[in-house]
C-alpha cells in the first residue's frame, strides 16, 4: 500500500510542528513499511499529486485558520479529484479573523464553502479540540470525529518525581496589547518569591520566537532561560510542578506528562478547546 502524508512539518523549527510529524512517523512504523509512505512538505507548494497512492492522510495541524492554506488545499483537492481515499486529521478549524493586537474576532465566512466541500468529500475528518468539533457539526460535517492531538502519544505512564520548578512560555500572548514585559516580569518574581525555580522556555515561531521576549527576563539566580527540543520540553513537563504556556502543544505535552498547566487565549480557539479536552486531569 502506498501512503501519502500531506502537510509534513518535520523540517519546521516550531516544536509543535516537529512533535506532530515525529508522532505521525512513529505511528506509521507500526502499520506500514518505511518506503511505502511519502511525505509532502507543508512549506513547499505543489499542485501535482501522483494518482498512484492508495490512501492520503492530511496533517491539518495549525493550517486551517483565517484563510485557505493553498499548500494544504491544492494537493488535497487534487487527491479528491483523482478519487484517492483521503483522511483529514489532527487539526483545529477556526474561521475567525483576529483583528490587530486587541484580539477582536470576526468570523471569516469567505473561505468556508471551499473547506466544507473538501471535508464532505473526505473519508475521515478528525479534529483535535471540542470547539472545532461542535462548529463543524453545526456546519453540516456530521461524521466529524474528535481525538486528542497526535502529539499526545508522546506520553507514557511512568511516574517521575517533580522538582520545585515552574515552566513559563508565551505564544500569541505576546501580540496582545494588554500584556507587556513588566507584567511577565512581575509574574516571574511572584513565582520565585514562593521558592520555585522558573525555566523560561524558548519556542521558535514567526516572526519572533518566545525567547525573543523571554531571554532578557532571566535576571536572578532562580530564573533560567532554556532552548530545548520537543523531547526535552516533554521531559521537563514530566518533572515540573506547573507549566504556564500559551502554546497548544505546550498544553498537549503537559497533559501527556500529567503536569498541571495554565494557558492563555491564543490566535485560534486551540487552547480554549484544550481546556475542555484535557483539564482538569487526575493530578
CA-to-CA separations, 127 to 30, 58, 199, 265, in angstroms, rounded: 22, 11, 31, 19
pLDDT level of residue 163 (50, 70, 90 thresholds) = very high
Q: Report the distance separating Cα 158 and Cα 229, nearest Å.
A: 20
What does the mean pLDDT of the chain come to?
89
Q: Which residues contact 93 (CB under 8 A, 6 or more apart)?
A: 60, 64, 65, 115, 127, 132, 135, 136
Residue where the block lists cell 516572526: 207
pLDDT digits (tens, 9 = 90+) for 203-232: 998 777 898 889 889 888 999 999 999 999
Predicted confidence (pLDDT) at residue 67 exceeds the cutoff of 60? no
Q: Report the distance separating Cα 38 and Cα 58, nearest Å.
A: 12
C-alpha cell at 98: 483576529
Q: Report the pLDDT value the prediction gives residue 264, as an integer from 0 to 100.
A: 85
* Contact (Cβ atoms closer than 8 angstroms) between residue 96 and residue 106: yes
Predicted confidence (pLDDT) at residue 102 exceeds the cutoff of 60? no
pLDDT level of residue 108 (50, 70, 90 thresholds) = low
* Contact (Cβ atoms closer than 8 angstroms) between residue 43 and residue 14: no
pTM: 0.91
Q: Which residue has the higher pLDDT, 176 or 145?
A: 145
Amino acid at each position: 500500500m502506498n501512503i501519502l502524508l500531506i502537510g509534513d512539518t518535520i523540517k519546521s523549527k516550531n516544536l509543535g510542528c516537529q512533535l506532530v510529524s515525529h508522532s505521525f512517523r512513529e505511528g506509521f512504523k507500526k502499520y506500514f513499511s518505511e518506503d511505502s509512505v511519502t511525505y509532502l512538505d507543508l512549506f513547499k507548494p505543489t499542485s501535482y499529486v501522483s494518482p498512484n497512492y492508495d490512501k492520503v492522510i492530511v496533517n491539518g495541524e495549525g493550517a486551517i485558520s483565517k484563510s485557505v492554506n493553498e499548500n494544504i488545499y491544492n494537493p488535497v483537492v487534487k487527491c479528491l479529484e483523482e478519487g484517492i481515499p483521503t483522511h483529514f486529521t489532527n487539526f483545529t478549524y477556526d474561521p475567525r479573523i483576529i483583528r490587530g493586537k486587541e484580539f477582536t474576532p470576526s468570523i471569516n465566512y469567505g473561505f468556508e464553502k471551499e473547506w466544507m466541500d473538501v471535508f464532505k468529500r473526505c473519508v475521515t475528518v478528525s479534529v483535535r479540540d471540542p470547539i472545532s468539533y461542535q462548529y463543524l457539526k453545526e456546519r453540516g460535517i456530521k461524521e466529524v470525529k474528535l481525538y486528542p492531538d497526535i502529539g499526545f502519544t508522546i506520553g507514557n505512564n511512568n511516574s517521575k518525581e517533580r522538582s520545585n520548578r515552574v515552566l513559563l512560555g508565551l505564544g500569541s500572548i505576546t501580540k496582545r496589547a494588554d500584556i507587556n514585559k513588566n507584567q511577565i516580569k512581575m509574574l516571574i518574581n511572584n513565582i520565585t518569591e514562593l521558592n520555585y525555580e522558573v525555566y523560561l522556555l524558548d519556542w521558535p515561531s514567526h516572526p519572533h520566537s518566545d525567547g525573543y521576549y523571554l531571554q532578557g527576563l532571566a535576571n536572578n539566580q532562580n530564573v533560567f532561560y532554556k532552548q530545548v527540543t520537543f523531547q526535552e520540553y516533554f521531559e521537563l513537563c514530566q518533572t515540573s510542578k506547573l507549566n504556564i504556556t500559551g502554546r497548544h502543544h505546550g498544553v498537549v505535552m503537559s497533559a501527556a506528562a500529567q503536569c498541571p498547566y495554565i494557558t492563555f487565549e491564543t490566535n485560534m480557539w486551540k487552547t480554549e478547546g484544550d481546556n475542555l479536552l484535557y483539564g482538569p486531569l487526575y493530578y
